[in-house]
Amino acid sequence: MSETATTTRTVVGPVLVRDATKPSPRQLVRFAFYKVEPEWRRLAAEIRSAHRRELGAVLEEHSRRILLRTFTLVGTRGDSDMMIWAVSEQAERLQDLFADLNRTQLAGYLQCSHSYTAMTKRSVYVDTEHPNLGGTTDRLVLAPGKSRYLFVYPFVKTRSWWALSAEERQRMMQEHIRVGHEYPSVKINTTYSFGLDDQEFVVAFETDSAADFLDCVQALRDTEASSYTLRDVPSFTCVRAGIDEMLEALG
């Protein structure tokens, strides 16, 4: 694919119409994880309901302007109850979202347990399409599907990895990619954090099968490139949930 041409596409949520003659703008991405404090669950039911409605209205309003997906982690992780996956070509829109969230009454009972900021970028290793990417080979525009699970973790390579030649890294990544392609039910979204946050990448895998993801990750451990992993934790099992469903799960 040319570095200067992209195809016209539509993303569920805000509609993004692309001019095929112009490069796609890169998107800023934030994965924000929240834990509700126990004190909130001791409030009267009607107060908690009002808090949920207020925060839900904020998320609904911003979902008209940015790509926004919500997930529950109730039952899958002890330090996080919910996750907001927010994507925009304009950093100011992400800032507006989380500033408005901070102004809600429920925000007074929320702890942001983890937060990862990244940006879309073309991969230097991938020149073929993954079986489950749906045509988004330029990787500059995220197009989340409707899979039940999203598995997210930050990722850092060792310094010795970057000391290797580009050809050697490409060789090892070809094996890594080949193994990943053996699990077409698992779609990967790789975003880049160099200089933006504490990690180098944030990876988010979409799938309807937790078992397929587990088997894929285990198989990737056997690849040569995996030996150059410095850090790939914490790892989050996020379950897709609508805004109201995510907030109801808080209690």
Residue 242 is encoded by which pair of tokens? Answer: 């609508």
Residue 67 is encoded by which pair of tokens? Answer: 């790509």
Residue 126 has pLDDT above 90, yes or no: no
Residue 55 has pLDDT above 80, yes or no: yes
Q: Could you read off the pLDDT of 146-173 as tens digits, one per residue?
A: 999 999 999 999 999 999 999 999 999 9
Region 176-188: what's the mean pLDDT?
Answer: 96
Q: Could you read off the pLDDT of 75-124 as tens digits, one per residue?
A: 999 999 999 999 999 999 999 999 999 999 999 999 999 999 999 998 87
User: Rounded to an integer, what distance in angstroms lies between the CA atom of residue 81 and that of residue 247?
Assistant: 9
The model's confidence at residue 129, banded by pLDDT at 50, 70 and 90, is: very low
Q: What is the pLDDT of residue 143?
A: 85
Q: Could you tell me whether strands 236-240 and 201-207 are parallel, antiparallel, or unpaired per DSSP bridges?
A: unpaired
CB 58 within 8 A of CB 106: no
What is the percentage of the chain residues whose pLDDT exceeds 70? 85
Region 5-15: what's the mean pLDDT?
Answer: 41
Q: Phi-psi region for residue 168, left (φ > 0), alpha (ψ -120 to 50) or beta?
A: alpha
Q: Give the bridge partners for 207, in sequence order.
A: 149
Q: What is the pLDDT of residue 21?
A: 52
Q: Could you tell me whether strands 187-192 and 82-88 are parallel, antiparallel, or unpaired per DSSP bridges?
A: unpaired
Q: What is the pLDDT of residue 141?
A: 86
What is the percentage of the chain residues whose pLDDT exceeds 90? 80
The more confident residue out of 124 and 38 is: 38
Q: Give the bridge partners for 112, in sequence order.
A: 34
User: Rounded to an integer, what distance in angstroms lies between the CA atom of residue 65 and that of residue 89?
Assistant: 11
Q: What is the pLDDT of residue 140?
A: 74
User: Rounded to an integer, what distance in angstroms lies between the CA atom of residue 189 and that of residue 53?
Assistant: 31
Q: What is the pLDDT of residue 23?
A: 60
Region 42-48: what's the mean pLDDT?
Answer: 98
User: Rounded to an integer, what distance in angstroms lies between the CA atom of residue 73 and that of residue 75?
Assistant: 6
User: Rounded to an integer, what distance in angstroms lies between the CA atom of residue 14 and that of residue 9?
Assistant: 12
Residue 248 has pLDDT above 70, yes or no: yes
- Please name the CATH architecture into which domain 123-133+141-238 falls: 2-Layer Sandwich (3.30)
- List the alpha helices (DSSP H) in the chain: 38-41, 45-62, 91-102, 159-163, 166-180, 210-220, 243-248
The model's confidence at residue 139, banded by pLDDT at 50, 70 and 90, is: low
Domain ranges of the chain: 123-133+141-238
Give 77's DSSP letter: -
Q: Mean of the per-residue pLDDT values for the chain?
A: 89
The model's confidence at residue 8, banded by pLDDT at 50, 70 and 90, is: very low
Q: Could you read off the pLDDT of 18-37 as tens digits, one per residue?
A: 454 556 689 999 999 999 99
Q: Could you tell me whether strands 28-36 and 229-231 are parallel, antiparallel, or unpaired per DSSP bridges?
A: unpaired
User: Rounded to an integer, what distance in angstroms lies between the CA atom of residue 23 and that of residue 240?
Assistant: 31
pTM: 0.86
The model's confidence at residue 218, banded by pLDDT at 50, 70 and 90, is: very high
Q: How far is CA 131 from CA 89, 218, 222, 235, 240, in A?
A: 26, 20, 21, 24, 22
Query: Residue 235 contacts by C-beta under 8 Å, 6 or more apart in sequence?
Result: 151, 152, 153
Q: What is the pLDDT of residue 127?
A: 57
